[in-house]
Amino acid sequence: MPELPEVETVRRGLDPVLTGHRIVRAQVNRPDLRWPFPPNMAGRLTGRRVQALRRRSKYILADLDGGESLLVHLGMSGRILVSGDPLGAFVHDHPAPERHDHVVLDIDSGARITFNDPRRFGAMDLLATATADSHPLLARLGPEPLGNTFHEAHLVAAMKGRRTPVKSALLDQRIVAGLGNIYVCEALYRSRISPLRGAGAISEARLGTLTGAIREVLQDAIVAGGSSLRDFRRADGELGYFQHSFDVYGREGKPCRTPGCAGTIRRVVQAGRSTFYCTACQR
């Protein structure tokens, strides 16, 4: 499932195509994805101007001039592709419709935005912009890891007294929003913390290092356009490249990249998810 860097990459790709532009036609080709679409979604989108495009955790929100926001979640296989952009950033002509093109938005500039989702684990909803933070999908989210409210003091307080492994704690979206399996593994490696260590047993100093590592790995991944492992594509249809920079994720049995470390990367399963770490330098 796309994590924060992938979603932010898509948001940045969509921003110049959507923000300030009007949706001249919305086409909804089925009644639902993971959940039913809101009533009359096509009618409520048609004619609306996008005032801002933002991200909250792994969700994209398009704020519309009618006081509503379109919430989008990519799910496991969802892709948002842009075609026919006259600005030249997206040189693809409008492609022939595909079987899993579930929502299509025609923009006043001539661009077209297509949401394609073969597995239909994605989601869309319309919600009041003024009360968006209270939406059930957003209300319990923790701070954004690249925002000012995520800092060492927050992480220290959130981890205090927790016996759960730090890897599992970081995947709790109530502690920090947007982190997923890949980037938690990579951040723990950069901070030399074992994913098996109890969250409450990590010193404040090491949690401070972890805070910086989380920010750093997310920023590096965004610059690389995210990670493409299976279905993820950027808004221009291209792959992300951060998967070529993984230090531990997917590298089971390979040597650790830390200079002077003789360890190898091990894979274990935690809460049904693969965890990768160096058995020697992550303690």
Question: Does the residue 221 lie in any domain?
Answer: yes
Same structural domain, 127 and 156: no
Residue by residue, DSSP assigns 196-212 as TSBGGGS-HHHHHHHHH
Catalytic residue among 55, 56, 58, 190: 58
Write down the pTM of the prediction. Answer: 0.90
Q: 54-90: per-residue pLDDT in tens?
A: 999 999 999 999 999 999 999 988 889 888 865 555 4
CATH assignment at residue 260: 1.10.8.50
Which of 72, 103, 134 corresponds to the end of one domain?
Answer: 134
Question: Does the residue 42 lie in any domain?
Answer: yes
Same structural domain, 100 and 170: no
Same structural domain, 30 and 100: yes
Angle in degrees, 0-180, between the axes of helices 181-190 and 204-223, rounded to the nearest 10: 120
Same structural domain, 98 and 175: no
Same structural domain, 21 and 76: yes
The answer to whether 273 is a known catalytic residue is yes
The confidence score (pLDDT) of residue 76 equals 85
Same structural domain, 130 and 23: yes
Low-confidence residues in the chain, pLDDT < 70? 85-93, 227-244
Residues 113 and 173 sit within 8 Å (Cβ to Cβ): no
Residue by residue, DSSP assigns 7-30 as HHHHHHHHHHHHTT-BEEEEEE-S
CATH assignment at residue 51: 3.20.190.10
The confidence score (pLDDT) of residue 266 equals 98
Which of 134, 167, 198 corresponds to the end of one domain?
Answer: 134
Question: Does the residue 146 lie in any domain?
Answer: no
Range 117-121 contact pairs with CB under 8 angstroms and sequence separation of 24 or more:
117/33, 117/74, 117/75, 117/77, 117/78, 117/79, 118/77, 118/231, 119/75, 119/76, 119/77, 120/32, 120/33, 120/34, 120/75, 121/1, 121/33, 121/34, 121/75, 121/76, 121/77, 121/78
Measured CA to CA, the distance from residue 75 to residue 9 in angstroms comes to: 15
Question: Does the residue 142 lie in any domain?
Answer: no
Residue by residue, DSSP assigns 70-106 as EEEE-TTT-EEEEE--TTSS--PPPPPP-TTEEEEEE
SS3 content of the chain, % helix, strand, coil (to 5): 25, 25, 50
Same structural domain, 69 and 130: yes
The confidence score (pLDDT) of residue 98 equals 82
Same structural domain, 252 and 181: yes
Measured CA to CA, the distance from residue 50 to residue 37 in angstroms comes to: 19
**Structural domain of 124:** 4-134
The answer to whether 58 is a known catalytic residue is yes
Give the CA distances from residue 80 to residues 17, 37, 116, 141, in Å, rounded to whole numbers and listed in that order.
Answer: 12, 17, 6, 24
Phi-psi region of 67 (alpha: psi -120 to 50; beta: other; left: phi over 0): left
The confidence score (pLDDT) of residue 232 equals 47
Question: Does the residue 145 lie in any domain?
Answer: no
Same structural domain, 220 and 268: yes
Question: Tokens standing for 121?
Answer: 């684990």
Query: Total domain count for the chain?
Result: 2
Q: What is the mean pLDDT of the chain?
A: 91
